[in-house]
Amino acid sequence: MTGISTLGAALSRINLINVQNEQLNTLSNQLASGRKTQQFTGLQTEVLTSKRARAGAVTLDTYINNIDNAERRISLTLQAIEEFQAQAENFANALVTFNQESVHQDGEIVYYDDPLTPEVEQIAVGVTGTDPDTALSGIQDLASNIFSFLGDLLNTQETDRYLLSGADTSQQPYNDTGTLDTAVSSLLGRWKDETLPASQNLTNDELLSAITNRSSSSDPNAITDSIVGYSPALSTNNVGDVFVRVDERTEIEYTALANEQPFRDLLVATAFIKSDSFAPIADAYNEPYTAGDPTIADGAPGATTDEQKDNFFEVFNELTRITNEALDDIDAIRFRLENVRARIAQTKEAHQNTQAVLQSTIDDVENVDINEVAIKINTLQIQLEGSYRVTASAQQLSLVNFI
């Protein structure tokens, strides 16, 4: 007859209780944490699946963070450009609605009668005053105020990062050094002073060429980027583009530079309008006037006020055209940046969708069903209580009870 010793039975019951306690502890931890295990080794054969999913999610987090930074910078850049455009539109509207019928100059008209002819001519050759009238003065004040604001917008920053300086983000892209005002004043002086030699005196076409040209190699009078006040790197076109890495293979450019053509043209146009040398429109003289008298101030080129007015408004209207064209070109820059923002937003959404799939994989591998765990705990507690009762009964056995 084969039997089980009392010691063997006791050890078997103790082992069973220990196993049940371990299972209860494991289930209790799962219920508290929602996870199958607190260590990767506890996942057994599924550990590699979990690690790969987690690594993929972390990598996508890096790209999403890159995109978030780029989206923030693009948004701030667009805000600056939109405000730049709004201010320029106010300026353009003032130019377009400016009534050009008057000479727009304080003082009385100065007339000339040629004493060598029997006829009495009433040829208007100038004005007795030099100051611009209220309408022209208002436009010049607006240009002066806008000019400073436009420069500030070109230096928009995100913390210590300049957003319109290309890859050279630590370098301020624009600085009003006064060189532009000096160049404008000199050009206007050479345009107005008809006593200068032909090599120095500027025609309307030559003045307008200097306004629109950015290269001294093609026009010695050109207003270069360096004269405007752009940084050396921008002036020499020596800045890198700005990119955001959106995945392991793709970088997307979102460069916008302070010296792009429309920004430069608007700075130059406002600098001309606000210049103290821009007015007067017509020559100013002391009365009584005699042919050959020196001017108090030079107006636009021309022998009569009509010619001076025509030449002045030829330049004025060209500045108006440049301003309006620049506004259209700013739309193109905004469209370019908006396209980039939409593209990286789509990439970000794709990454987030992929992350959701990876998180689902992680949850499937690592998480537990709380309801299922609760049922198992309840069942195990009942089993454990039964084991304790059996053990207690066995310990109370005696020979009398056995018989």
State mean pLDDT over 52-72: 88
Alpha carbon distance 198, 188 (integer Å)? 15
Q: How many CB atoms lie within 10 A of CB 270?
A: 27
Q: Look up the CATH number of the domain holding residue 153.
A: 1.20.1330.10
Residue 51 clears pLDDT 90, i.e. is over it? no
3-state SS string over 62-85? HHHHHHHHHHHHHHHHHHHHHHHH
Residue 297 lies in a domain: yes
In a domain, 40, yes or no: no
Check residue 402 and give its pLDDT.
44
Interval 79-97 mean pLDDT: 96
Asked if residue 348 and residue 378 are part of one domain, the reply reads no
pLDDT in tens, 315-347: 999 999 999 999 999 999 999 999 999 999 999
Domain range for 393 is 371-397
**Same domain flag for 209 and 336:** yes
- Predicted pLDDT at 109: 92
Q: Is the pLDDT of residue 363 over 90?
A: no
Indicate whether 24 belongs to any domain: no
Q: What is the mean pLDDT of residues 381-403?
A: 58
Residues 232 and 378 in one domain: no
Clarify whether residues 83 and 202 are in a common domain: yes
| pLDDT (average), residues 122-132 | 92
Task: Examine the domain organization and report whether 380 and 295 are in the same domain.
Answer: no
Is pLDDT above 80 for 98? yes
| Shared domain check, 337 and 243 | yes
When pLDDT is averaged across residues 143-154 and rounded to a whole number, the result is: 96
Least confident among 19-23, 79-83, 216-220: 19-23
Q: Of 213, 233, 231, whose CA–CA distance to 223 is shortest?
A: 213
Q: 269 and 243 share a domain?
A: yes
> Would 81 be classed as within a structural domain?
yes
Q: How many CB atoms lie within 10 A of CB 249?
A: 6
Question: Within this chain, do residues 244 and 393 fall inside the same structural domain, yes or no?
Answer: no
Q: What is the pLDDT of residue 354?
A: 87
Question: Contact 129/106 with Cβ under 8 angstroms?
Answer: yes
Asked if residue 157 and residue 87 are part of one domain, the reply reads: yes
The DSSP element (H or E) to which 249 belongs, if any, is none
Looking at the predicted structure, is the pLDDT value of residue 210 above 90? yes
High-pLDDT (> 70) share of the chain, %: 74
Q: What is the pLDDT of residue 387?
A: 61
**CA–CA distance, 239 with 96 (Å, rounded to integer):** 36
Instruction: Inform me whether the pLDDT recorded for 221 exceeds 50.
Output: yes
Per-residue model confidence as pLDDT tens digits over 258-291: 999 999 999 999 999 999 999 999 999 998 888 8
Residue 304 lies in a domain: yes
**Does 99 map to a domain?**
yes
Q: How many domains does the chain have?
A: 2
320 and 188 share a domain? yes
% residues pLDDT > 90 (the chain)? 66
Residue 62 or 116, more confident: 62
Average pLDDT, the chain: 85
Residue 148 lies in a domain: yes
Digit-coded pLDDT (tens) for 158-172 = 999 999 999 999 999
Whether 376 and 337 map to the same domain: the answer is no
Query: Is the domain of 285 the same as that of 384?
Result: no
Query: In this structure, is residue 299 part of a structural domain?
Result: yes
From 163, 147, 145, select the one nearest 323 (Cα to Cα): 147
pLDDT band of 48, cuts 50, 70, 90: low
How confident is the model at residue 59, as a pLDDT? 87
Residue 40 banded pLDDT, cuts 50, 70, 90:
very low
- What pLDDT score does 123 carry? 87
Once rounded to an integer, what is the mean pLDDT over residues 353-371?
70
